Amino acid sequence: MTADGSSGVAATGTYAVAALVERFGGACGGDLRRRVAGFAPLESATVEQLAFVTAARYRGAVAASAASAVLVTAQDAGLLADEAHRLWVCDDPYLHFARIAQFFDANAHPDEPSGIAASAIVAAGARIDASATVGPQAVIGAHASIGARVRIGSGTQVGAGSTVGEATRLHAGVVVYAGCTIGARCIVHSGAVIGADGFGFAKDGPCWVKIPQVGGVVIGNDVEIGANTTIDRGALGDTRIGDGVKLDNQIQVGHNVQVGEDTIMAAFVGIAGSAIIGRRCQIGGAARIMGHVTIADDVVISTQTFVSRSIGKPGQYTGYYPMAEHAAFEKSAAVLRRLDGLRERVRRLESAMRVAGDATADRPPDPTVPERPA
Amino acid sequence: MTADGSSGVAATGTYAVAALVERFGGACGGDLRRRVAGFAPLESATVEQLAFVTAARYRGAVAASAASAVLVTAQDAGLLADEAHRLWVCDDPYLHFARIAQFFDANAHPDEPSGIAASAIVAAGARIDASATVGPQAVIGAHASIGARVRIGSGTQVGAGSTVGEATRLHAGVVVYAGCTIGARCIVHSGAVIGADGFGFAKDGPCWVKIPQVGGVVIGNDVEIGANTTIDRGALGDTRIGDGVKLDNQIQVGHNVQVGEDTIMAAFVGIAGSAIIGRRCQIGGAARIMGHVTIADDVVISTQTFVSRSIGKPGQYTGYYPMAEHAAFEKSAAVLRRLDGLRERVRRLESAMRVAGDATADRPPDPTVPERPA
Amino acid sequence: MTADGSSGVAATGTYAVAALVERFGGACGGDLRRRVAGFAPLESATVEQLAFVTAARYRGAVAASAASAVLVTAQDAGLLADEAHRLWVCDDPYLHFARIAQFFDANAHPDEPSGIAASAIVAAGARIDASATVGPQAVIGAHASIGARVRIGSGTQVGAGSTVGEATRLHAGVVVYAGCTIGARCIVHSGAVIGADGFGFAKDGPCWVKIPQVGGVVIGNDVEIGANTTIDRGALGDTRIGDGVKLDNQIQVGHNVQVGEDTIMAAFVGIAGSAIIGRRCQIGGAARIMGHVTIADDVVISTQTFVSRSIGKPGQYTGYYPMAEHAAFEKSAAVLRRLDGLRERVRRLESAMRVAGDATADRPPDPTVPERPA
């Protein structure tokens, strides 16, 4: 149990607020000698913990909180003057929180095991840096290369000839096939599968003939890959994931896909083969990208949306059926099934109106009305 | 091979119908000394097997079946008088089937291995109850706690400090990260990942800065978790799954989500971070719940529906695009893309009608017509 | 690194074009003594590699390519006369590519390990053919049967009594539960779970009572199963996957489902319990099939489509919300939510028109208009 009542990984050690402010910047009120041990939500934080707010509407929660210090913007601090003795003013409280929490986290695991576990199997010709950790029951294939300070979790499989860059962490139960490259400082969560065959078949009458998938997977630096996410190897060339990409759980990336730097995707996103995704895109959960399309930089795709064509310019693109109470859904769906028929009825009415009376046909267009569909 | 021709797990031993009726209740016709070895579908059951029907329209199938006894309601029994010698009348045949089948199943696996396999790795400080089973190649982390009669499958990983409650079964190839708690009598299927990092990042220009996920996962009692389902750990507090929750395969539960007791979810459901799901909800396959929303108790969500806002009262909520033959879909989709334009054309027609003739404008509303949209 | 610049699995050895033409058929121009080492995309192929084109519009790319030979149809060859010295004319270039690439691939892995790894655990009574390979840390359960030339990947679990047919490959980290049957020449990718419990519960007040899942899974010959795909065991009978079926990654197949021969499914498809899918169907990514429905042979389901009823005849069926720019989506979605209201307004207009003027009501129907909805 940690101090905030969670059963999670506990931060160890405490730090004076003064030391944290000096390291991370900003300005904090009150006695800077007080010590803190980590972050907690505003409502459960103790006097030994930090919290943050991202909007002044949380004013009541700040007043009620026991937190030792609360990260706020200068603007919000002005609205929270009563709390000045524990406000820590900074440019971006959420980003500040991320950086300080990383600092606590990095110091929270002092006694993790290191070295190669006796039960791990390392094949001939594999190169494992002396500073790397390989967990129990892990398997490192022939001629694989494991960099400095890499941590390979228990039961994880690294295929023959694959490369894992420095300070990357593969959690327990990851599978990396042969011939894949993972960059530095990546995090790969359990159940992720990197380099399984892409899905490619030629038709021979009713049968499907497998296209051998002989390309690889190349993952850049600072990439995070969620639990049970799958990234297929290329058919001939490679599947490529750019630096800084963040993939949530249960994502599927097809063969020969390219994902640009700093793009982020939520759970269940599916990218079909040979799609090219730009940089800094944000792709909502369960969105699907059709094969062979190209998506520009800085595109935002809403959750559940099926991207059936290329997108050439930044912006947000959306397509999901809006939820309703079931009875209302049933009524709308019944009309939707014959929507072209409804449009036709409107066309007939328009024709009939023109026949019935010219007085109405000559009215000027209503300027508030959007452009009329063809 | 079992007697019903399936290649599955066979039930062993037979029981007199009299003994089963005494144990589980209801009233069965015919000679109660006949013995049965388990259940089968009505159409393939042998004279040594039980079956069940949930509607009298299966009358012909009952007549054609060789089943030794057939569970029915009293009402259906009245319609099946010719079969009275083998009808087992009970309140709820499906529930009765479940309970009796559990009884057979519990007695079907007498010779499973027990104890800690020689190839399992148990870290220092882990506590494993003497009645627990740990399979080959499993890994139990430091200070983990494994309760009485727990069964840990082969190749399963339990992280440091995690707790598994009594009589819970983790099948082969499960991963539980450090600092997670699983209650009693749970079943966790292969490939499930409990406690991977939630998906949380702060933006720093184009880059994403990881928020350390230091909360845990707390799973109640009598929970079932399907194959390849992922439940992320909390960011600061815990992700919580209530007692009696049933999760199908390939579900994703985001960080800090709370799921109420006895809620059930079908495959591919995705719950984004910090959503709160009520008790006794039923969530259809591939439905998605947006982050931070709250869903009341007893809500039913249809398959594929995207829940984009909180739901405050029980009922069924739905939103999926209705399937059609492809050509019909194409026509409807083309109109849907410009649906606001169609509405505008209707508005203009209405205006024109009012100008053209007051006789029609004064007609009383049609009482069969639903309330007109604003 | 392979010659085409990918980091993937390299093909070893070279072959004279003459030998390949003799083995696979067709007619190739130029000096048939030149040697090739495998395939590459047209744009990156070297003089030691083959390529293929499937349409004459790639004419410029063929001219610019360094490929030693390019597979083309006779028709396209006529349009590419300048390149005749390196065109390899055949009936179906893509199928030819598949077969020749398989030949290269089969000869590319001469030195894979064989036999049973010392760290693998084989339970009593398991039968493993002398020509089979079992990787490090794999676990083979009691009375399992592993056929000739089977390859079991590292860390893979095969449950008690399960059968794996000859020449089948289970990649690393696969889980096969007890009592499952996998045919010959199958490929199962990492993270796939075969035979986990189907999702079946009886309701007892607010609680869910588990139905033991005592059926098995029976997978035919020549089946490919993608990474992290799950196929549940039957409740009483078996779940059955026909010969030649190809399943992409992250698919879910529910209990008692039957999938007909040569059907192919893309990633994230979900098939709910007891559905029956015909032969030679093609099911697009993230499509969902409702439980207990039947789908005829030769049906095509578009991506994201929810199949909520049985389909009795071949054809393509579709239902997904069309993507738009977000602002346009918002407008259409707002109308869609009250679509039945819009239809009602059209009905009223039609009634009003009939009252207002019989001249228009008597116009003959427009023959270009589809049948009017009821």
Please give the pLDDT value at position C185: 98
Please give the pLDDT value at position A56: 72
- Do residues A247 and A270 make contact, with C-beta atoms less than 8 angstroms apart? no
CA C114 to CA B29: how far, in whole Å? 60
Q: Does C361 touch chain B (CB under 8 A)?
A: no
The pLDDT tens digits for B289-301 are 999 999 999 999 9
Q: Take residue A90 and report the two structure tokens written for it.
A: 């900074």
Q: pLDDT class for A12, splitting at 50, 70, 90?
A: low
Q: pLDDT class for A7, splitting at 50, 70, 90?
A: very low
Ranges in chain C, pLDDT < 70: 1-12, 109-112, 356-374
Residue of A24, A343, A353 to mutate when probing chain B, most B C-beta within 10 A: A343
Q: Does A312 touch chain C (CB under 8 A)?
A: no
Q: Which of C39, C267, C322 sits opposite A252 (nearest CB)?
A: C267
**Residue A174 distance to chain B (closest CA, Å):** 10
CA B173 to CA B155: how far, in whole Å? 5
Please tell me whether residue B92 adopts helix, strand or coil conformation. coil
Please give the pLDDT value at position A119: 98
Q: Does B54 touch chain C (CB under 8 A)?
A: no
CA B344 to CA B350: how far, in whole Å? 10
Q: Do A307 and C323 touch (CB under 8 A)?
A: yes
Neighboring chains of C (3 or more beta-carbon pairs < 8 A): A, B
User: What is the interface size between A and B, counted as CB pairs within 8 Å?
Assistant: 272
Secondary structure letter of residue B58 according to DSSP: G
Q: Do C326 and A316 touch (CB under 8 A)?
A: yes
Please give the pLDDT value at position C263: 98
Chain C environment of A349 (Cβ under 8 Å): 346, 349-350, 353
CA A294 to CA A311: how far, in whole Å? 6
The pLDDT tens digits for A24-52 are 999 999 999 999 999 999 999 999 999 99
Chain C environment of B228 (Cβ under 8 Å): 191, 193, 228, 230, 250
Q: Least CA distance to C303: which residue of chain A?
A: A306
Percentage of residues of chain A with pLDDT beyond 70:
91
Phi, psi of B366 (to 5 degrees): -75, 120
Please give the pLDDT value at position B54: 84
**Rounded (10°) CA dihedral C32, C37, C43, C46:** -70
- Judge: domain A15-106, CATH 3.40.1390.10: yes
Please give the pLDDT value at position A57: 75
Q: Least CA distance to B307: which residue of chain A?
A: A323
Q: Does A172 touch chain B (CB under 8 A)?
A: yes
Chain C environment of B346 (Cβ under 8 Å): 342, 345-346, 349
The residues with which B52 forms a beta bridge, in sequence order, are B71
Please give the pLDDT value at position A114: 81
- Do residues C245 and C264 make contact, with C-beta atoms less than 8 angstroms apart? yes
Q: Quickly count: other Cβ atoms within 10 Å of residue A143's Cβ.
A: 16
Q: Least CA distance to C368: which residue of chain A?
A: A344
Burial grade of A319 (CB within 10 A; 0-12, 13-18, 19 or more):
buried
User: What is the interface size between B and C, counted as CB pairs within 8 Å?
Assistant: 276
CA B172 to CA A343: how far, in whole Å? 56
Q: Do C355 and B356 touch (CB under 8 A)?
A: no
The reply to whether the predicted model has a pTM over 0.95 is no
Phi, psi of C88 (to 5 degrees): -115, 100
- Judge: domain B115-317, CATH 2.102.10.10: no
Residues of C known to be catalytic: 255
Q: Do C346 and A341 touch (CB under 8 A)?
A: no
Q: Do C373 and A342 touch (CB under 8 A)?
A: yes
CA A336 to CA A330: how far, in whole Å? 10
- Tell me: pLDDT of A9 over 50: no
CA B62 to CA C249: how far, in whole Å? 41
CA A214 to CA A235: how far, in whole Å? 5
Q: Does B293 touch chain A (CB under 8 A)?
A: no
Provide the residue ranges of all domains of chain B, joining segments of one domain with +.
15-106, 115-317, 337-374
Please give the pLDDT value at position B331: 94
- How large is the greatest C-alpha to C-alpha distance in chain C, in angstroms? 92
The one-letter code for the residue type at B354 is R
Residue of A176, A181, A214, A305 to mutate when probing chain C, most C C-beta within 10 A: A214
Tell me whether strands C324-325 and A315-318 are parallel, antiparallel or unpaired. Answer: antiparallel
Closest by CA to C276, choosing from C248, C234, C227, C223, is C234
- Do residues C252 and C270 make contact, with C-beta atoms less than 8 angstroms apart? yes
Q: Which of B206, B212, B319 sits opposite A105 (nearest CB)?
A: B212
pLDDT tens, N- to C-terminus, chain B (374 residues):
333 334 433 445 899 999 999 999 999 999 999 999 999 999 999 999 999 998 777 788 899 999 999 999 999 998 888 899 999 999 999 999 999 999 999 877 656 678 999 999 999 999 999 999 999 999 999 999 999 999 999 999 999 999 999 999 999 999 999 999 999 999 999 999 999 999 999 999 999 999 999 999 999 999 999 999 999 999 999 999 999 999 999 999 999 999 999 999 999 999 999 999 999 999 999 999 999 999 999 999 999 999 999 999 999 999 999 999 999 999 999 999 989 999 999 999 999 888 765 444 444 444 343 433 33
Average pLDDT of the residues in A263-278: 98
Please give the pLDDT value at position A244: 98
Q: Does B322 touch chain C (CB under 8 A)?
A: yes
- Do residues B321 and B337 make contact, with C-beta atoms less than 8 angstroms apart? no
H or E element at residue B127: strand B127-128
Find the catalytic residue in A85, A171, A255, A292: A255
Please give the pLDDT value at position B111: 61
Q: Does A346 touch chain C (CB under 8 A)?
A: yes
Please give the pLDDT value at position C357: 57
The one-letter code for the residue type at B161 is G
Average pLDDT of the residues in A248-269: 98
Q: Do C191 and A228 touch (CB under 8 A)?
A: yes
Q: Least CA distance to B118: which residue of chain C?
A: C121
Burial grade of A91 (CB within 10 A; 0-12, 13-18, 19 or more):
exposed
Q: Take residue A357 and report the two structure tokens written for it.
A: 């009376």
Chain C environment of B250 (Cβ under 8 Å): 228, 230, 250, 252, 270
Q: Take residue A145 and report the two structure tokens written for it.
A: 């290369």
Chain B environment of A6 (Cβ under 8 Å): 214-216, 234, 236-238
- Tell me: pLDDT of A5 over 80: no
Please give the pLDDT value at position A217: 98
Burial grade of A41 (CB within 10 A; 0-12, 13-18, 19 or more):
buried
Burial grade of A178 (CB within 10 A; 0-12, 13-18, 19 or more):
buried
Chain B environment of A8 (Cβ under 8 Å): 179, 213-216, 233-234, 238
The pLDDT tens digits for A187-242 are 999 999 999 999 999 999 999 999 999 999 999 999 999 999 999 999 999 999 99
Q: Do A41 and B236 touch (CB under 8 A)?
A: yes
Q: Do A341 and C135 touch (CB under 8 A)?
A: no
Q: Does A339 touch chain B (CB under 8 A)?
A: yes
**Residue C54 distance to chain B (closest CA, Å):** 26
Q: Least CA distance to B325: which residue of chain C?
A: C317
Residue of B137, B154, B193 to mutate when probing chain A, most A C-beta within 10 A: B193
